[in-house]
Amino acid sequence: MTLATPTGAARIPPDATLAAVLDMVRACRACEAELPLGPRPVLCAGVTARILVVGQAPGLRVHTTGVPWDDPSGERLRRWMGVEPETFYDAARIAIIPMGYCYPGRGNGGDVAPRRECASLWLPHLLARLPGVELTLLVGQYAQRHFLAGRRKPTLSATVRAWREYEPEFLPLPHPSPRNQPWIQRNPWFERQVVPALRARIRALTRGCGGPRSPNPPAPEVP
């Protein structure tokens, strides 16, 4: 059976539910030959989610545990968002769909780029079944390139700095990896301006669902 249609998307019945599509994704073997550790798609989503987190691709630890953002990057992302794991992993509130769903392997400069097949085969079908998403966090350059396309600025720093241009639908973020600590230190405006705005949006969008129990001190005023 051919998995892809001529447009590149997977063949899926229009009435397939989100759960059914997620099952199909989790059984995907489309680029098995290119994956050093084999397929293990890591993503989660519920139809009522109002927030979507789009990252890059699972690292080795996440590939091993099968839990998205189960690493120091995830700890920092949750701190930025002002949520505890209980909220972050509640698929009814927050959908987590990276650009690449399986661990892509390592190159000289760290993990290689997410596989492109996921976005072309599956992403349109998943997004079509997430009608309640009001805010999509674009974590890192790959998500920003895909979702912002021509609206992206020449650099990631410039794109993140222009975050207000993409409201209310998108919020571009740097990758929270510890490897990005130098970027965080060089750009203090990010934690001073963007993080408080991010927390406020997350608080509003999770209100009424139990809400996040933030471990963080109150956010400072946005200048």
**Which positions touch ligand SF4 (CB under 6 A)?**
25, 28-32, 39, 41, 100-102, 115, 117-118, 121
Q: How far is the CB of 80 from ligand SF4 (least distance, A)?
A: 26
Residue closer to ligand SF4 by CB (options 99, 198) is 99
Nearest to 96 by CA among 61, 139, 64, 159: 139
- Residue 147 or residue 163: which is nearer to ligand SF4 going by CB? 147
**Least distance (Å) from ligand SF4 to the CB of residue 10?**
9
Of the candidates 98, 141, 103, the residue with the CA atom closest to the CA atom of residue 119: 98
Between CA 71 and CA 159 the distance in angstroms is 25
Residue with tokens 């490897």: 179
What is the distance between the alpha carbons of residues 122 and 115, in angstroms, rounded to a whole number?
12
Strands 51-54 and 135-139, bridge-based pairing: parallel
Judged by beta carbon, residue 53 or residue 118, the one nearer ligand SF4 is: 118
Residue in the block written with tokens 């222009």: 162
Quick one: 33 or 188, whose CB is closer to ligand SF4?
A: 33
Give the residue with the Cβ less far from ligand SF4, 39 or 82: 39
**What single DSSP character describes residue 100?**
S
CB of 163 to ligand SF4, least distance (A): 28
Q: What backbone phi and psi angles, to 5 degrees, belong to 200?
A: -65, -45
Is residue 62 within 8 A of residue 143, CB to CB? The reply is no
Please, what is the minimum distance in Å from the beta carbon of residue 92 to ligand SF4? 23
Cβ proximity to ligand SF4, 118 vs 198, nearer residue: 118
The CB-of-141 to ligand SF4 minimum distance in angstroms stands at 18
> Rg of the chain over CA atoms, in angstroms?
17
Q: How far is the CB of 42 from ligand SF4 (least distance, A)?
A: 9
Quote the Cα angle for 43-44-46, to 5°: 155
Give the whole-angstrom CA distance, residue 29 versus residue 212: 36
